Structure 1
Amino acid sequence: MRIVVCDDEPLARERLVRIVQESGHEVVAQATTGAEAIVAVKTQQPDIILLDIRMPEMDGVRCAQELDKLDHPPAIIFVTAYDHYAIAALKANAIGYLLKPANKDELLEALNKAKNLNAAQLNEIRKLANPAARPIREHIAARTHRGVELIKLKDIYYFAADQKYVKVRHKDGMVLIDETLKELEREFDDRLFRVHRNAIINLNFLDFLETLDAGQYQIRFKEIDETLAVSRRHLPALRDKIQSM
């Protein structure tokens, strides 16, 4: 693979270059600032950029945001000494986030994951930054410790708000995504239904509406032994929906 290495620290940059070259990949350019990295990417058209975050003139996050505007942006792997930039890296569409000094095995694993990403996965990653531009999807993209996972919408039981993220319960487990329930509900309004301000469900997995004590209700799902509370506000609409199914 063709790789650009960007880091303002010479020793850190040289170490990354050495690991990349020893692994059989080609370093097509080196840069010390985000601005230099953008020029290198436009000139060399690399497959991947290894990008520091704390740099003069233009930091790595801003650089990644600018790179994402290109017609054919490279896959981005951040290599930084600071762990508190992880959320910013997620929003900048990075496919990897490594802490300095980057472990050789972790770096090679990240490079292999980037190499194996297909066009569909990369497109899903880039769409995360611009919800208004998305077509209706059949998959939800989630970044996990295994890389980028594409989860079929038809395999998802429900979405539930979990602090700053949304929890996705699907047939193979649970992941977190950086989207909002409001965006998901608007995009998939014909397939998802809100049962609570903190939850929307896939109607295909709705088994029945269960009555609890004190006039409370909850949803039971097909295939899984889990429940979700139904709010009083959304109960009438849900009953109407069930009757029309």
Structure 2
Amino acid sequence: MKILVVDDEPLARERLARMVERLDGHELVAQAANAEAALQLIEERDPDVVLLDIRMPGTDGLVAAEQIAERPNPPAVIFCTAFDEHALDAFGTSAVGYLLKPVKTEQLTQVLDKARRTNKLQRAELTDSAPAAGNGQRTYLSAKTHRGVDLIPIDNIRCLIADQKYVTVYHTEGEHLLDETLKDLEQEFAQQLVRIHRNALVAIAHIQGLERNAMGQCRVRLEGIDTAPVVSRRHTQSIRSLIQQL
């Protein structure tokens, strides 16, 4: 991956640049001391990843990240900063990751590996256009985390459960909170998800059967996860019929 390092402190910038140069599979294409120079270098060098300081004179890193995101086919952004108080602001952006200075090689390697896996998908996220299938439907959901943005393949999703204003997606790699409504998700993924309760959707392709718990509640058994969401009485018969057709 081609990497641009942006930091107004020469020593910090050179140190990070040397760390990048020592990593296999990564190329340092340029360095910049401020956001304005960084934007120009992005135009000229087309980096895959920008390691971006947050606290800089003039345009700071958070504003620069927003400007980068507005570009066509933008690079992935990884914030680097010595200031903990910026964390919440940084996590409110579509950054791939967040590194606290002094950056350690192991941490840099981990976040660059993450950027390598999600680079093309992250670019779509930065332009506010999540990856979509040929029919225009998304193939990933995005969830903001303390690391930045995680992309969850639709095929990995097993169920979504709403709790007040939040929706939790349960998938093969764990669970995440989504900033989306259950109703919108049901409409968009009507072919993949089915409602089993006013607060729950499950992935049709991964339904293994129905079971009753000690309280007599009917639950859906799903492939790949231990969570078995409750089926409401209203939806029980339709889910039984669906399972018979699978």
Return the TM-score normalized by structure 2. Answer: 0.72
Q: Which position in structure 2 is the counterpart of 1:174?
A: 174
* 1:50-77: CA deviation from partner (whole Å, max 9, x where unpaired): 0112333333222222212222211211
* 1:130-150: CA deviation from partner (whole Å, max 9, x where unpaired): 56x993133445688999876
* Contact 2:142/2:178 (8 A) holds in 1: no
Q: Which position in structure 2 is the counterpart of 1:50?
A: 51
> Structure 2: where are the runs of 5+ without partners?
none
* 1:22-76: CA deviation from partner (whole Å, max 9, x where unpaired): 44732413132x3332222123222221011233333322222221222221121
Shift of 1:211: 8.1
Q: Which position in structure 2 is the counterpart of 1:236?
A: 234
Cα distance in 2, alignment partners of residues 185 and 82 from structure 1: 40
Q: Which position in structure 2 is the counterpart of 1:6?
A: 6
Cα distance in 1, alignment partners of residues 123 and 17 from structure 2: 28
* Contact 1:212/1:218 (8 A) holds in 2: no
Please state whether the residue corresponding to 2:169 is helix, strand or coil. strand
* Contact 2:159/2:203 (8 A) holds in 1: yes
- Give 2:220's aligned amino acid: R
Cα distance in 2, alignment partners of residues 165 and 79 from structure 1: 30
The verdict on how the C-alpha distance between 1:96 and 1:81 changes in structure 2, with shifts beyond 3 A counting, is same
- Give 1:28's aligned amino acid: A
> Structure 1: where are the runs of 5+ without partners?
none
Cα distance in 1, alignment partners of residues 155 and 7 from structure 2: 42
The verdict on how the C-alpha distance between 1:65 and 1:146 changes in structure 2, with shifts beyond 3 A counting, is closer
Cα distance in 2, alignment partners of residues 241 and 96 from structure 1: 40
Q: Kindly tell me the number of residue pairs found equivalent between the two proteins.
A: 235
Please state whether the residue corresponding to 1:189 is helix, strand or coil. coil
Higher deviation after alignment, 57-66 or 176-185: 176-185
Cα distance in 2, alignment partners of residues 37 and 162 from structure 1: 42
* Contact 2:91/2:146 (8 A) holds in 1: no
Within 5 Å, which residues of 2 pair with 1:33-72? 34-72=35-73
Cα distance in 1, alignment partners of residues 72 and 237 from structure 2: 47
Identity of aligned residues (%): 37
The verdict on how the C-alpha distance between 1:93 and 1:145 changes in structure 2, with shifts beyond 3 A counting, is closer
Within 5 Å, which residues of 2 pair with 1:195-210? 195-196=196-197, 198-206=199-207, 207-208=209-210, 210=212
Return the TM-score normalized by structure 1. Answer: 0.73
